[in-house]
Amino acid sequence: MTAATVLVVALGEVRSPVLESVTLARTLGTPVLLSLQPLSEADTDALGRAGVARALVADLGEARHAPAVAGRAVATAAEATGATVVLLPTSFVAKEAAAHAAFLLDAGLLVDVATLRLESGELVGGKRVFAGTWETECAVTSPVAVATVRANAIVAADAPEAVTTAVEPLSVDATLPRGLVLDEHEEHPRAEGRPALAEAAVVVAGGRGTEGDFAAVEELADALGAAIGTTRDCVDEGWQPHDAQIGQTGVTIAPRLYIGAGISGAPHHHGGMQASGTIVAVNVDPDAPLVQIADLAVIGDLQEILPAAAQAIREHRES
């Protein structure tokens, strides 16, 4: 396999995970973007800075939320561009769409990779598995490869030279498969100014130790521009929404910095955040499991430590 053309797919807006995939694509070949919704001027500016000279727009409307339709569009674009590598930023929908596209393209599929490289003509993807305890690599032996790329695995960087992005429409079949009806699609609004949990570079998570008062967690998250996460116990208590839950029955995250305050670090939670770059624990109990695996542990009351940390960060930013 040679990856002359690498198709990067934006299922929604062109945000950091898309630009991370474009950055990775540049190490494999020439990136071409497929967007399933119209591109804004800000999108094309960002793509130009990232070195994407060609962008295809398959405007699927609401049908883009159906993975079978999105997957068909991805396969159509891969065939139209002759791409041998197709990258999608990981999400629940992206993983399913990637599987549909791989089936249609007769391609090997890698899910949630953190690294990708071409070796002896094969695409090799790496990722951590089993709650972050094993590093694995997998090679695709088929002529075409489809991979979903984990958010924050690499840092999005501009290309050495910016280009002008030429946008062209791509005609695709947007009909839903027989028997499938797209009934309703609900976007969960994000707190203003906060990144989405699954793609945030910094996450501040609060657990039962907050006793339901998340003001200190929010203050530190605001100071850091971080997303807020939590444990299942806090969700069960009704203190936080389910889409903030990290862990086995919640979201798996791998931010560059994870701060867990008032969280014991039970295996069910641990499995969802262990791949984080740097782990900081704030806990009154020095024997808490999260303290044991943390890169940095602060022993004390989170209601004192988090506001003090937020204040120090604000002062540092202002100075």
Ligand X SMILES: Cc1cc2nc3c(=O)[nH]c(=O)nc-3n(C[C@H](O)[C@H](O)[C@H](O)COP(=O)(O)OP(=O)(O)OC[C@H]3O[C@@H](n4cnc5c(N)ncnc54)[C@H](O)[C@@H]3O)c2cc1C
Which residues lie near ligand X (CB under 6 A)? Answer: 207-209, 231-234, 245-250, 262-264, 266, 268-269, 272, 282-285, 288, 301-303
**Which residue, 79 or 285, has its beta carbon nearer to ligand X?**
285
Least CB distance from residue 114 to ligand X, whole Å? 21
Q: Which tokens hold the place of 303? A: 């209601």
Residue whose beta carbon is closest to ligand X: 247
**Which residue, 74 or 235, has its beta carbon nearer to ligand X?**
235
Least CB distance from residue 14 to ligand X, whole Å? 30
Least CB distance from residue 237 to ligand X, whole Å? 9
CA distance 59 to 36: 5
Burial class (CB in 10 A: 0-12, 13-18, 19+), 316: exposed
Strands ordered across the beta sheet of 296-299: 227-230, 202-206, 257-261, 278-283, 296-299
**Which residue, 89 or 250, has its beta carbon nearer to ligand X?**
250
**Which residue, 85 or 228, has its beta carbon nearer to ligand X?**
228
CA distance 278 to 276: 6
CA distance 20 to 23: 5
**Which residue, 131 or 313, has its beta carbon nearer to ligand X?**
131
Least CB distance from residue 45 to ligand X, whole Å? 38
Least CB distance from residue 236 to ligand X, whole Å? 8
| Ramachandran class of 51: left when φ > 0, alpha when ψ lies in -120 to 50, beta otherwise | left
Q: Which tokens hold the place of 206? A: 């609060």
